[in-house]
Amino acid sequence: MIGVGKIKQYSNILEKPLSKGKQEVSLSAFAFLFSELVQYNQTRVDNIAELERSSVNGSSIVNESNIFHGKWIRLEDAGYAVGARVLELLCHRDKGNRRETRLLGILSFVHSTVWKVLFGKVADSLEKGTEHEDEYMISEKDLLVNKFISIPKDMGTFNCGAFVAGIVRGVLDGAGFPAVVTAHFVPMEGLQRPRTTILIKFAEEQINSLRAPCSSFSLLSEAPIPSSTPKMSGEEVAVAQLEAPGTLGEPMDINTALPLVVRKSQAHGGLARGLHEAAKAIEKHNAHLCVLADDCDQPDYVKLVKALCADHDVKVLRAPSAKALGEWAGLCKIDSEGKARKVVGCSCVVVKDYGEQHEGVEVVQQQKD
């Protein structure tokens, strides 16, 4: 839909053919209108989060009245309306289309067809999350909406990719795949601008009912990923209770303190597990500490988490492995002997609440990144 070139003029919009033209919108016109949209919205919100994120928290009740009247003026809301219309347009253009019922099929549709219509090219990459089946990432090295905006220093974390996240959410919602979609910056070596990652998180029931075999989707690059938190034979996942180890009077080191802090936080409901929950906690300034697994094999995942923590001044510590971190975070079942069984690996957790003050908290707070 966006390009540079001479555009044929029509006296009436009804005269315009449904088939796609080579140049539908001039790039300069889009840049001007989008910058006006950002500036208009900027004066009507109190902070960056309000400017970027949907005011309806991922629900589908967004329409033109919500967007252009009252206080529901957000980049994601505006993008949502565009996404809904893009889906309608594509359905009109392809009369022989059928409703997509496969999760990976709709992701492929967004990654390729929708991206081509919007930006004239397929998205740079589509990847599955490293630890949760319900998380997928679409990445773009130089997202168009971030090219024409000069961000003030006091708004350093502002990401215009929220508009594209809204478009993706609108397409998915209209196709019957509701999801929470957010945009994040990932610094890249050798690039002046950070890469933009669109993080898509589906509901667990959709993953269970609509997931197709991964082998049927050639565009998706996957690493071996454990299933999401299991419920074994109807039983709840147990959280291991940690007794303070070590001889009485012996000082606690970081190798002992870190598992204790994570487990205490989980026991008190103050732990965010997985990329989506961790990113949300960090961006809401609710994070005291972030823990990354040393054996995480996706560099983009690590860069994204580290960048978020650097922007929000959150300490990052390392766990020896995803399995160890998963056990600390309660992603396991404890047998009758008190040993962890069926541990699900976890690459990232964020401590939102220590739960209680103890020696381990002091050791962790004194530890350097």
> Tokens 């160890």 label which residue?
324
**257 and 157 co-located in one domain:** no
Report yes or no: 239 and 330 within 8 Å, Cβ to Cβ.
Answer: yes
State the Cα–Cα distance between residues 317 and 360, nearest whole angstrom.
14
What's the rounded Cα separation, in Å, for the pair 141 and 188? Answer: 9
pLDDT on residue 90: 86
Count of structural domains within the chain: 2
In a domain, 227, yes or no: no
pLDDT at residue 65, rounded to an integer: 39
Residue 37: predicted pLDDT: 80
Last residue of a domain, one of 191, 216, 241: 216
| CATH number for position 28 | 3.30.1380.20
Which amino acid makes up residue 293?
A: A
Q: Are residues 127 and 248 in the same domain?
A: no
Q: Assess whether 194 and 244 both reside in one domain.
A: no
In a domain, 340, yes or no: yes
Are residue 170 and residue 257 in the same domain, yes or no? no
∠ CA 200-91-160, rounded to 5°? 35
> What residues does 317 pair with on adjacent strands?
291
**CA–CA distance, 211 with 220 (Å, rounded to integer):** 13
Quick one: 268 and 298 in the same domain?
A: yes
Domain assignment present for 2: no
Indicate whether 163 and 266 sit together in one domain. no
> Is residue 5, in this structure, part of any structural domain at all?
no
What does the pLDDT read at residue 61?
41
pLDDT by residue, tens only, the chain of 369 residues: 444 444 455 555 566 666 655 556 677 888 888 888 877 777 766 666 665 555 444 444 444 434 433 334 578 888 898 999 999 888 887 766 677 778 888 888 899 889 988 888 888 888 887 767 778 889 888 888 877 666 666 666 678 888 899 999 999 998 888 899 988 888 877 767 788 889 998 876 666 655 444 333 333 433 333 333 333 333 333 334 444 444 444 678 888 899 999 998 988 889 999 888 888 889 888 899 999 999 888 888 888 889 889 988 999 999 999 999 988 988 888 777 778 788 888 889 999 999 888 888 989 888 877
Among residues 185, 216, 247, the one where a domain terminates is: 216
Q: Does residue 173 lie in a domain region?
A: yes
User: Does residue 173 sit in the same domain as residue 236?
Assistant: no
Q: Are residues 254 and 310 in the same domain?
A: yes
Helix (H, G, I), strand (E, B) or coil at 200: strand
Mark whether 186 and 311 lie in a shared domain: no
236 and 163 housed in the same domain: no
In CATH, what number is assigned to the domain containing residue 267? 3.30.1330.30
Q: Is residue 211 part of a domain?
A: yes
Instruction: Tell me the torsion sign for CA atoms 225, 228, 231, 236.
Output: positive
pLDDT at 128: 82
The tokens describing 294, both together, are 């040393």
One domain, residues 263 and 309: yes
Indicate the pTM of the whole model. 0.53
> Which residue segment(s) compose the domain that 247 sits in?
232-366
Residue whose tokens read 């204790």: 260
Based on the fold, state whether residues 236 and 175 are members of the same structural domain.
no
Quick one: tokens of 268? Answer: 């008190």
98: Cα within 13 Å, side-chain hemisphere: 4
Structure tokens at 2: 């966006």
Within a domain: residue 89? yes
Does residue 168 sit within a domain? Answer: yes
Residue type, 154: D
